[in-house]
Amino acid sequence: MNELLSQAIVNLFIGFGFALINVIVCYFVPRVPRVISITYWGLKPRVFLLVYLIALVFQLVTSPLFRSYLTSAYAELAWSPYQALFNVLGILLMDMLVGLWGGMRRGAQASRKQLDVVKQAAAVGLEDVGARLALTPEGRAEQAARTQAQEETESKLAAERKQRIDDRLKDY
């Protein structure tokens, strides 16, 4: 029983390792497709069957190479369907980790955008608070000058806008 469990864990990590190698290669060479993946091809029964059959053929071809003196080739071949199943489960485990990582990255990007919006709103709010809290006479004078300059700028822009509209109306 202990031997079966260790074989299952080893084959789970073999499938996980194959998928991890494919993810690493895809990270460094983005043109390479992530073919050692179940979710890449879709979570359909025929995809699971195809992946299992590929893993089974791989296990049957390589089984005689991994046999030891303690187990016969027949026992190794008999264990191959289970090894293939655990290889597929390892690939599925890697797909779940990649999906979780992608979801966390999308969440972090959305949070970063929301944080930028909040920072901008807070900066505008702090300017208003700073205007209200100008307690010293110098601070009040400085704030009044800033407010007056801002109002003058807005009035100049409004006047220029009105002038452009008037000029356009005269052209018609």
d(CA 170, CA 77): 93
User: Model-level pTM?
Assistant: 0.63
Q: How do the domains of the chain map onto residue ranges? A: 2-119, 137-171
HEC profile of 43-108: CCHHHHHHHHHHHHHHHHHHHHHHCCCCCCHHHHHHHHHHHHHHHHHHHHHHHHHHHHHHHHHHHH
Query: Residue 170: what pLDDT?
Result: 82
d(CA 144, CA 13): 70
Closest CA to 88 of 60, 63, 59, 55: 55
| Residue range 150-171, pLDDT digits in tens | 899 999 999 999 988 888 888 7
Q: Cα 69 to the chain's mean position, in Å?
A: 46
| Residue range 33-87, pLDDT digits in tens | 888 888 888 888 898 899 999 998 888 887 766 666 666 666 677 778 888 999 9
d(CA 170, CA 172): 5
Query: Residue 68: what pLDDT?
Result: 61
d(CA 91, CA 84): 11
d(CA 36, CA 22): 6
Confidence of residue 145 (pLDDT cuts 50, 70, 90): confident
